Amino acid sequence: MTKELVLTDANFQKDVLGASQPVLVDFWAEWCGPCRMLSPVVARIAEANQGKIIVGKMNVDENQETPQKYGIQGIPTLLFFKNGNVVNQIVGFQGQDNIQRAVDEVVSA
């Protein structure tokens, strides 16, 4: 089973911006109902796309610098990074099919 990376303000530069593969970052918080609904979907995406994309989760309550830098206002927000740049964004709860489509677009772009 693939484990999503736990991302922090401290490791974001290296693990996301410096990654050789595309990275999907799930910005979430413990108290957020839609975030909790999205969590197993993100886990399945990580599992299904092993080797194609890195999946990480960032708790916005514990890390405020990075979400602020990327203008995260509503959670859950998924940001897709490629070569250190944001290439796609999904805000709010989405089904696995929509997220997988976005992953496929980012990976093949």
Half-sphere exposure at residue 18, Cβ-oriented, CA atoms within 13 angstroms: 6
pLDDT reported for residue 21: 96
> From the candidates 35, 41, 72, 79, which is the catalytic residue?
35
How does pLDDT run across 57-108, given as a tens digit for each residue? 999 999 999 999 999 999 999 999 999 999 999 999 999 999 999 999 999 9
Whether the pLDDT of residue 2 is over 90: the answer is no
How does pLDDT run across 38-69, given as a tens digit for each residue? 999 999 999 999 999 999 999 999 999 999 99
Known catalytic membership, residue 32:
yes
Known catalytic membership, residue 18:
no
At 3, is the pLDDT very low, low, confident or very high (cuts 50, 70, 90)? Answer: confident
Token reading at 64? 């405020």
Q: Which amino acid is at 1?
A: M
Q: What domains, with CATH codes, occur in the chain?
A: 5-108 (3.40.30.10)
> From the candidates 32, 53, 58, 79, which is the catalytic residue?
32
